[in-house]
Amino acid sequence: MQNLTLLDGQKFQITLQRLCRQLIENHNDFSESVLIGIQPRGIYLAKRIAEELRKILPGKTILQGDLDITFYRDDFRRRDQLVPNQTKIDFIIEGKKVIMMDDVLWTGRTIRAAMDALQAFGRPEKIELLALVDRRYSRHIPVEADYVGIEVDSIASQKVVVSWIETDGEDRITLISDTK
């Protein structure tokens, strides 16, 4: 097993701030936009981005929710038992610009399921995607992110793990290779 750190410390923080500035460029004061983190790991990214945005835009309301996609996945009955997480969207998404967030964009299937799940809450004016890590050249579905923290070229046997200071004690993006 070989671990390679792709991003940590100050660079990690700068990446988040850069993503926030890009979001502000397109969404101004977020009065017509909402952030949705995809369960399980995308919610940490969405919470952190919302927190940073509130620091940059004091006094503005930044709405952020958590979306569970378990019931919308296309690998049900093709893998181990799926157990759902919480969905928490206590605001209206109808007519809003929704920015979906996930820590790693890989095959694109999670995002397809998330877009499907989102329709159950209404019809947003627009859906955008923000991914902290874009594992390029690995898509099964034609999905691309509008905002990307870092692009990574990796092979299928490798894993990309994003650690968060709130839950894992540090901010770090690690590429894990099985050396066997």
Residues that bind other proteins (CB under 8 A): 68, 70-73, 76-84, 86-87, 116, 119-122
Q: How many CB atoms lie within 10 A of CB 102?
A: 27
161 touches 176 (CB < 8 A): yes
Minimum distance, C-beta of residue 43 to other proteins, in the bound complex (Å)? 15
Query: Which of 71, 137 has the CB closer to other proteins?
Result: 71
Q: Which of 66, 29, 60, 22 is nearest to 46 (CA)?
A: 66
Q: How far apart are CA 87 and CA 68, in angstroms?
A: 5
Q: How far is the CB of 100 from other proteins (least distance, A)?
A: 17
What are the backbone dihedrals phi and psi of residue 156, each rounded to the nearest 5 degrees, phi first? -60, -35
Strand partners, 4: 175
Nearest approach in angstroms of CB 39 to other proteins is: 11
Closest distance to other proteins from the beta carbon of 71 (Å)? 4
| CA 30 to the chain's CA centroid | 18
- Helix (H/G/I), strand (E/B), else coil: 45: helix
